[in-house]
Structure 1
Amino acid sequence: MDHIFTRALLSEVSHSMIPQESRIFEPFIGSWELVVSWFDDHGRLNRQVPGEWHFARVLEGRAIQDVWIAPNREERDGRGEYGTSLRFYDSTIGAWRSTWIGPVHGVIYTFIARRVGDQVILETTNDMALKMRWSFSEIGSNSFKWSNEVWQKGRWRTQQTFDARRVPSD
């Protein structure tokens, strides 16, 4: 593994240009075990697998990147997803720009993220044909919930949820 690349990418602290009150992804820095659930068009649970999610500060602390894996690496058999999001704070809009890259299924989604009350909400950008909303809620030091909703037939439909538990650091 190229440790020079890792040292160039990762950052221990957030960049000073990101206002303290705008560091909405800081609570997620670290590693998480997930229970990943998918739901059908009628809201019924389709399937459930264990997953993992890892967040880190990158690019001189100007961005936060994650790696999402489901099923987790212990149970992977070539199916599922293994992808990444890169998020950075854009002071011109007072929000975070986020891009999800899912190479297994060949998808790229772009979002704008903001704090809404005690949640972090990401909504697809206007250029996206599919209107989606990703939400982090019930955010604690060792757990949070995440949901993926799609706009269909005039309402939000939950298609996926995560229950996350922090993995103790080494």
Structure 2
Amino acid sequence: MKYFIETLTSNSKSVELPEEFNYFGKLIGSWKFDYVDHNISCSTKGEWHFSWILEGMAVQDVIILPSRETRTEIPHPLTEYGTTLRVYNPATHTWDIAYCYTGRIMRLEARKQDDMIVLTNIDDEKKKWAFVKIEDNTFHWQNVTVKDNGEWLINADLYAVRTR
């Protein structure tokens, strides 16, 4: 297993990945977060871990909701344990993304939109996930649905704080 981890992970981004497209570099590390689902009026704490992989041309993460320290034996209505592969595409200057969790894989594409990083579902462009703001030690993420008039309906907000 040691060799798998060593060959998968990278200590930094590749020099071949242009800095202007380094959308996810500030996320590398570990985070705790508060997740608020507006559709079912529920919230929980979670954790999210990011690492450079594939010689620094990709980022992989693991999201855990609720966090391992706040899990109980009583099922929570907001439960997810998933991983995302974000691979920079030099031909399109976008990020090709696959989000996977038990029983489901979603394909997304990430682009900059104003100051946000917007991930759009390939199969349903009305479904988006946005890193609204990324700072050194905090970030704000949203799950949104685009209405027919173009307005964004915010399904969930996630507010993260760096732990490592």
Matched, 1:119 2:124: no
Q: Which whole-Å deviations, capped at 9, do the CAs of 1:52-85 have from their partners, x for residues lacking one?
A: 0000001111110000000001122465100011
Q: Which consecutive residues of structure 2, in runs of 5 or more, have no partner in the other structure?
A: none
- Match in the other structure for 2:155: 159
Query: Post-superposition shift, 1:134?
Result: 0.8
Q: How big is each residue's C-alpha offset from its partner over 1:102-137, in whole Å with a ceiling of 9 and x where there is no partner?
A: 21xx22211111122221111111xx1473111112
C-alpha distance in structure 2 between counterparts of 1:124 and 1:33, whole Å: 25
SS state at 2:55 partner: coil
TM-score normalised by the chain length of structure 1: 0.86
Q: Which residue of 2 aligns with 1:37?
A: 36
> 1:18-74 CA deviation, whole Å, 9 max, x = no partner?
11111110010001110011112xxxx611100000000011111100000000011
What's the RMSD between the two structures over aligned residues? Answer: 1.7
Which ranges of 4 or more aligned residues in structure 1 deviate by more than 4 Å?
152-155
Give SS of 2:56's match: coil
- Separation of aligned partners in 1, 2:7 and 2:54: 8
The two structures have a TM-score, normalised by structure 2, of: 0.89
Distance in 2, matches of 1:108 and 1:129, equals 13
* AA in 2 matched with 1:159: N
**Residue aligned with 2:134, SS:** coil
Q: Structure 1 118/152 Cα, relative in aligned 2: closer, same or farther at 3 Å?
A: closer
**Residue 54 in structure 1 maps to residue 52 in structure 2:** no
Letter in 2 for 1:137: V
Secondary structure class of the residue paired with 2:154: strand
Q: CA deviation at 1:153?
A: 5.4
Gaps of at least 5 residues in structure 1 are none
Is 2:98 aligned against 1:102? Answer: no
Aligned positions, number: 159
